[in-house]
Amino acid sequence: MISIEKSQMDSISERAIRGEILDRDEIAYLYDEVDIKTLGILGRKITDSITGRQVSFVSNMILNYTNICNVRCNFCAFYRTGMEEDAYTMSAIDVAKRVKTFNDSYGIRQLLIQGGVNPELSLEYYTNLFRTIKQMVPEIGINGLSTSEISYISKKEKMSVEDVLVALRESGLETIPGAGAEIFADDVRKILRRPPHSGQQWLDVMETAHRIGIKTSSTMMFGHVENSYHKADHLLSLLKLQLKYNGFLSFTPWNFEPGNTELEREGLVTSRVGGEEVLRNIAISRIVLNRHIPIIQSSWLTNGVEMGQIALMFGANDWGGTIYDERVIPATGKQVGNLRKETIIRSIKSIGMIPVERDNNYKIIKTYI
């Protein structure tokens, strides 16, 4: 039973506005007891104090260079073992040509590139991949690989994570996305069929990146088998690392899509969470992470444009990016299509906010009045 009385919400709000760090009981209380309207008002108030009415976005392309993966999480509908007819791995030149095609048409600022943990790929594949991309499209910022991919390269090559990251950075890697965080707790990750201690491994890789000056994003996947304390501990773990190195550029809470996954087939998750839970996680993320991780993404990709707009009213201040060629979410059966920046600008303006285009490092490059 959570020991905090509802009457203490005013005290929690005052402390959050001052930027103070909440404890896990208080965060669980926000998840389990506080009404969504109160959370939204507080979340938006904190965001207004950070970035005002500005909402950033990036011209982004997602490129999944392989779908072969030996981790085989039971919440993933994208991976293949390598034996299927639709298993694939793209060559460096094919990746670069595809990126150039989209860049020539849409002016891509950020390339999010990740796939699976493909045991056939060496460090040389990735360094050649990044160099080839940068040679063909030098202006693009590469936001690449998951911590799982990086950890596997380290083990395969018998190199330290730091040495792998240095080699990747020298070949063109600029930032690292937050994929693979899910929920850090081992009991949750066991059900999700993630490797033992992989939550701590995610944190360790990110800490190494931050220590040597590589900025990253952070995420949390909710709406599966976790509880409120799992989410509270997850957010506090991110906050602890952020206070040490200030290496996280942003945070995205995203809801689990169960379609075509083993979790759905096994009956462990029968449906996706509703819009209220999406907004609850947006607002609480802002309240907990506060100014320490100043950018909260609206996660429109899994929830649609309209929910993306509402998320902005609950504390998010970054739309994320345009989407071209994304394949992971469609593997669940949910079609997301492509989203061009004109639609993003219109969607942000229509709710009375100011769209600002950014680059891969969240630096503003253009304001749309």
Binding residues for (3R)-3-methyl-D-ornithine: 146, 299
Torsion of CA 151, 154, 160, 162, to 10 degrees: -60
Nearest residue to 180 via CA among 254, 280, 279, 270: 254
Residues in Cβ contact with 291 at an 8 Å cutoff, skipping those fewer than 6 apart: 19, 46, 49, 50
d(CA 238, CA 365): 28
Residue 218, beta-bridge partner list: 251
Token output for 21: 């760090």
d(CA 100, CA 216): 24
Annotated binding-site members for [4Fe-4S] cluster = 69, 73, 76
DSSP 321-355: E-BSS--TGGGGT-----B-HHHHHHHHHTTT-EE
Would you give the DSSP letter of residue 223? S
Nearest residue to 286 via CA among 92, 100, 40, 81: 40
Among the residues of 172-223, which ranges form H helices?
186-191, 198-211
Token output for 126: 């990735």
Annotated binding-site members = 69, 73, 75-76, 146, 182, 193, 299
Torsion of CA 310, 314, 320, 324, to 10 degrees: -20
Between the CA of residue 361 and those of 7, 342, 357, what are the distances in Å?
41, 21, 11
Annotated binding-site members for S-adenosyl-L-methionine = 75, 182, 193
d(CA 115, CA 125): 13
d(CA 320, CA 86): 29
d(CA 298, CA 354): 15
